[in-house]
Amino acid sequence: MADKTAIRTDAAPAPAPAHTFSQGVRKGPLLQVSGQGPVDPATGEYLHAGDVKAQTVRTLQNVEAILKAGGASLDDVIMLRVYLTTRDDFAAMNEAYGEFVAERVGSGVLPCRTTVMTGLPREEMLVEIDALAVISD
């Protein structure tokens, strides 16, 4: 069995103050990225209050940084899960998401996606996204 390795990068926000989870975990060819939000990795500040499009881009940048630290890219992602606080933000999130992902997926095969409406840990968070990638060494 392959060893399980925590993925850590300063290019994405550190886990919540309780530090009860890893930014990402790799085991064999699988890389799971923990849910990310619209946080500036340098300051820990939540960005773009009220703007789900801008929050989606910042969140995907954080996901992408952890993928890179784990040896993957968005082209290796097979599943993205998107959590929104309101159905009203779906179209704007989907537009920003679609542009961001399409620019980075060279294979032409877009990842699967699930979108769920739910409460999120911080009131200023409109979106949270996690990812599952399979890496070919």
> Between 15 and 22, where is the model more confident?
22
Q: Are 23 and 15 in contact (CB under 8 A)?
A: yes
Q: Contact at 8 Å (CB) between 90 and 55? A: no
- Taking the C-alpha atoms of residue 97 and residue 132, their distance in angstroms, rounded to an integer, is 16
pLDDT band at 1 (very low <50, low <70, confident <90, very high): low
Q: Inform me whether the pLDDT recorded for 109 exceeds 90.
A: yes
> Three-class SS of residue 118?
coil
Confidence band for 20, pLDDT divided at 50, 70 and 90 = confident
Would you state the pLDDT for residue 106? 87
Q: How confident is the model at residue 17 (pLDDT cuts 50, 70, 90)?
A: low
37-81 pLDDT, tens per residue?
A: 999 999 999 999 999 999 999 999 999 999 999 999 999 999 999
Which residues are 32's β-sheet partners? 25, 132
Cα dist from 20 to 16, 39, 95, whole Å? 8, 18, 32
Q: Is the pLDDT assigned to residue 14 strictly greater than 80?
A: yes
Please say whether the beta carbons of 41 and 12 come within 8 A: yes
